[in-house]
Amino acid sequence: MKFKKILLSLGIGLGLTFATTMASAAEYKIGFSQIGAESEWRTANTKDIKEAAKRHDVNLIFSDAQQKQENQIKAIRTFIAQKVDLIGFVPIVETGWDNILREAKRAKIPVLVMDRDLKVSDPSLFVAKIGTDSYTEGKKAFEWIDSFVNKTQLKPRNGRDKINIVVLEGTVGSSAATGRGNGFNDAFNASANKDKFKILASQTGDFTRQKGQEVMESFLKSNRNDIDILFAHNDDMALGAIQAIEAAGLKPGKDIIIISCDGVKGIFQAMIEGKSNVTIECNPLQGDLFFETAKKILKGESVPKSVFVEEGIFEADVAKEVLPTRKY
Ligand code: GZL
């Protein structure tokens, strides 16, 4: 009879929230610092991590940093004090991790990164990264626009000579935003049709629906009839922008073509309603791969430095058929 113990360590006075899942006499104790709950994607990522921890019988100490890097650093320091076997985290931004990861290294606690990338002076400060290829997602996004315009012979509205694109960028300094932006821009500059297009405006919406709506409202205020395409770095900002486009009396998905990244259920619903055109999948279901890799590390097995999860692309015409199969 497996002895089951419920461990619930509430956040200490640092404004952090810690929760420990039902912990059996698990083989390993793993501390995980999550960014927050900024998007449908993130909440799906968190749900999958917690469920995978149970499947892998890991004692998970989970911390939600509420979108603040300093909370992630505090949480990692707490994990070190708790002498966890391994530390996992999603770096909210790429830089600023060297010192805290040196503390983990001194404590001989391996670090496994999930989802986003980080930049450190010494690559040995983390063992590996499980995640998503944001550069390729951005590249796929422009390549889709290029082929869509070619196929439909989309013309600029308002008699303009250039097809105007506006961009809602993700969190400033995050690898997801940097990667998608670089991938998009490199594909744009490599295109034989690049002279057809112009980036009219580009601004961060911080990956949230609310800010996506606000920034799109500002784009529309100054360029109501001069926006042909919206590229949003995630679906949540696209969903916010859709509300702004409708409020401005325009038809999202028709007057303004919309492409975004993630592949969450909300954007499938919008595509079914004809309000968005395509989503570039970014898979949040990384929990099993994370814990499998963590156990290999803890057993002294070698693991690849970087592993990407599978990702596809879904256009509006398949949304109705695919939505029931979506897991997030
Ligand atoms: C991408 C991930 C991003 C999602 C957003 O790997 O880090 O963060 O695209 C989420 O929805 O907020």
In this prediction, residue 138 carries a pLDDT of 98
How many Å lie between the centroid of ligand 1 and the Cα of residue 234?
A: 7
**pLDDT surpasses 90 at 25:** no
Give the residues surrounding ligand 1 with Cβ less than 6 Å away.
38-39, 41-42, 115-116, 132, 134, 176, 207, 234, 236, 261-262, 282
Residue whose CA is at the smallest distance from ligand 1 atom 2: 176
Ligand 1 pocket test, pick from 38, 39, 206, 306 with the greatest ligand atom count within 8 Å of Cβ, gives 39
Q: How many CB atoms lie within 10 A of CB 206?
A: 23
How many Å lie between the centroid of ligand 1 and the Cα of residue 22?
A: 27
How many Å lie between the centroid of ligand 1 and the Cα of residue 162?
A: 30
Instruction: Decide: helix, strand or coil at residue 130.
Output: strand
Which one-letter amino acid corresponds to residue 57?
D
How many Å lie between the centroid of ligand 1 and the Cα of residue 92?
A: 10
Structure tokens at 238: 């696209």
pLDDT in tens, 110-139: 999 999 999 999 999 999 999 999 999 999
**pLDDT surpasses 80 at 1:** no
CA distance 277 to 275: 7
Name the pTM for this structure: 0.92
**pLDDT surpasses 70 at 5:** no
In this prediction, residue 16 carries a pLDDT of 55
In which band, very low, low, confident or very high, does the pLDDT at 19 lie, cut at 50, 70 and 90?
low
In this prediction, residue 172 carries a pLDDT of 98
pLDDT in tens, 311-325: 899 999 999 999 999
CA distance 168 to 202: 6
Q: Which atom of ligand 1 is nearest to the CA of 261?
A: 9
Phi-psi label, residue 141: left if phi above 0, alpha if psi -120 to 50, beta otherwise: alpha
**What burial class does residue 230 get, using C-beta atoms within 10 Å of its C-beta: 0-12 exposed, 13-18 middle, 19+ buried?**
buried
Structure tokens at 272: 């079914």
How many Å lie between the centroid of ligand 1 and the Cα of residue 4?
A: 34
Q: Which atom of ligand 1 is nearest to the CA of 41?
A: 11
How many Å lie between the centroid of ligand 1 and the Cα of residue 244?
A: 21
In this prediction, residue 159 carries a pLDDT of 87
pLDDT in tens, 191-206: 999 999 999 999 999 9
